[in-house]
Chains A and B, each alone.
Chain A
Amino acid sequence: MTELDPKLERQRIIKGRNRALALVLFGLAALFFAITIVKKMP
């Protein structure tokens, strides 16, 4: 089994975390937008 380069592994993990965080933030923004519209409806 080949050893993983810690530097590359670190970059891969941080990239994955950033993508996950971006997805969560985008999802929350969309949800708050939808909630605001629903709450404004008569």
Chain B
Amino acid sequence: MSTAPVQPILLPADWRDFWSLTKPRVMSLVIFTGLCGLLAAPVPINPVIGFAAILCIAIGAGGAAALNMWWEADLDAKMKRTANRALPAGRMDRAVARDFGIVLCAGSVLVMGLAVGLLAAAILAFSIFYYAVIYTIWLKPRTPQNIVIGGGAGAFPPMIGWIAATGDITLMPVLLFAIIFFWTPPHFWALALFVETDYAAAGIPMMPVVAGHRSTRRQILIYAVLLLPIALAPFLLGLTHWLYGLSALLLGAAFLILTLRVATFRTPANDADMRAEKRLFAFSIIYLFALFGALVADRFILG
């Protein structure tokens, strides 16, 4: 990482630039999965404490995202998709972004510890460290398995939500963690297949750049196949009712069919338009929202 800003800074950063540093779209998924973990837990939680827990998860994720953008400003400047972000575009000083990230992370852990519980705060702190240091600084620039490792960071929110409600770690939050962990590689590699040129320009060892399309498609299929029994496990182990089980089966089957289209039946025409990859990427987002939505519905409707 060099310390020189990409563009000269002429004006102070707008509040929207600070907001964009927290990656609001990623944060919405974090809030949703964290909330589902909290609501699916068998123990009711006071709404104020529940709100504080979700807020802390969101702010912690936002702080980690700000630290990620601070560290990757040079890489972001090289990619068309990210070149207009506040740091590479020169709308914000790097040190300001770093300090903003640190304040959000520290504040979220502190409030989580005081208002919700020490175990939830400890897992939140570890998830921030995992994303900002282990993933962003250490492994993302070094290994094409970066997405698999990064998936671990995204998998923490439902676990933290569950722990905030119950106060301890049981099999169910571990399964929720595993679902997102195995969902992440097909989700991101599908994206990486159709924005490959961007990652190549930035020198990030994304799987399609390093191992090629064929190997990436095979690995997408492997993770999608593994995801099906993991998503069904809460039902098979008697931790949920049939509503979640049926949803996991139908959603998993649809996910697998779309993945098969990405992994097999390749022709020069569908290699060119990447329609199957774009469809898998779009459906993977729906899949996660629907699966966790079904988990909460199962808990509220069937008890």
A interface, CB within 8 angstroms of B: 6, 9-10, 13-14, 16-17, 19-21, 31, 34-35, 37-39
Whether B272 is near chain A, meaning CB under 8 Å from some CB there, is: no
Q: A10-B11, A21-B15, A38-B49 are in contact. List 11 more A-B contacts (CB 8 A).
A: A10-B12, A13-B12, A16-B14, A17-B18, A19-B15, A31-B51, A31-B52, A35-B48, A35-B114, A35-B115, A38-B46
Say yes or no: A9-B48 contact (C-beta < 8 A), given A31-B55, A35-B115. no
Which residues on B sit within 8 Å (CB–CB) of A34?
A: 48
- What is the predominant secondary structure among interface residues of chain A facing chain B? helix
Are the CB atoms of B11 and A13 closer together than 8 Å?
yes
**10 contacts across the A-B interface (CB closer than 8 A):** A6-B10, A6-B11, A16-B14, A16-B15, A17-B18, A20-B18, A34-B48, A35-B114, A38-B46, A38-B48
**B52: contacting residue among A6, A19, A35, CB under 8 A:** A35
1/0 contact string of B1-43 vs chain A (CB within 8 Å)? 0000000001111110010000000000000000000000000
Least distance between B59 CB and chain A CB atoms (Å): 10
Q: Please classify how large the interface on chain B is, using the bins under 10, 10 to 19, 20 to 34, 35 or more.
A: 10 to 19
In the assembly, what is the distance between CA of A42 and CA of B136, in Å?
Answer: 44
> Min CB distance, B258 to chain A, in Å?
41
A17 vs B52: C-alpha distance in the bound complex, in angstroms? 24
Asked if B49 and A13 sit within 8 Å, CB to CB, the answer is no
Contacts A6-B10, A31-B55, A35-B115 given; indicate if A17 touches B15 (C-beta within 8 A): yes
In the assembled complex, the CB of B68 is this many whole angstroms from the nearest CB of chain A, namely 21
Q: A residues within 8 A CB of B46? A: 38
Query: Chain B residues near A21 (CB, 8 Å)?
Result: 15
Are A17 and B14 closer than 8 Å at their CB atoms? yes
Q: A6, A19, A21, A39: which has the most chain B beta carbons within 10 Å?
A: A39
Q: A9 and B11 in contact (CB under 8 A), knowing A34-B48, A35-B52, A38-B49?
A: yes
B49–A17 CB distance below 8 A? no
Which residues in B have their C-beta under 8 angstroms from that of A13? Answer: 11-14
